[in-house]
Amino acid sequence: MSDPITEVTQVVRAFADCWNRHDMHAFGELFDPNAEFVNVVGLWWKGREEIRKAHELTHATLFKHSRLTLSDVAVRFPADGIAISRVRWILEGHVSPEGAPLPARKGILLNLLSRGPAGWSIIDSQNTDVIEGQLSRPQ
């Protein structure tokens, strides 16, 4: 049996792997059937199918050639069978709704995961853009 940190990290890394392959079916399978996801602009999707369909739409257009790179994966376990993961990301190769190339974006993704009989799955996710020039910590 793997270490729980390794298992959760594998799910988090699979998020980026599925994104970069633009395989939104596999992406959706990372989520619990009743999962919720809030994206960087505040759209709130409820349920695996809604999450998958929303990402299928954007990966056919805005993110069709995008690449998601993860770093600084942090995992903690506030309760047995529950994990919280935060990860920094960089997104490149995405375009505007009009098709114009956009500069790279940075952000932080929070995933709440639950361990079930089939392993770890994402039960809640919230994505946040990092806005350059803002103070990162109180002085």
Three-state SS for 47-110 is CHHHHHHHHHHHHCCCCCCCEEEEEEEEEEEEECCEEEEEEEEEEECCECCCCCECCCEEEEEE
Residue 109 inside a domain? The answer is: yes
The pLDDT > 90 percentage for the chain reads 92
CA distances to 28, 60, 115 from 54, in Å: 10, 10, 25
The pLDDT score that the predictor gives to residue 135 is 60
The number of folded domains in the chain is 1
User: At residue 84, does pLDDT exceed 90?
Assistant: yes
Residue 138 inside a domain? The answer is: no
- Give the domain range for residue 104: 4-129
Average pLDDT value for residue range 110-114: 98
pLDDT band for position 109 (cuts 50, 70, 90): very high
Average pLDDT value for residue range 47-62: 97
Q: How far is CA 3 from the centre of its chain?
A: 21
Residue 136 inside a domain? The answer is: no
Residue 33 inside a domain? The answer is: yes
The pLDDT score that the predictor gives to residue 29 is 98
The pLDDT score that the predictor gives to residue 2 is 78
What are the tens digits of pLDDT across the range 90-108?
999 999 999 999 999 999 9
The CATH number given to whatever domain includes residue 15 is: 3.10.450.50
pTM: 0.91
Average pLDDT value for residue range 31-42: 96
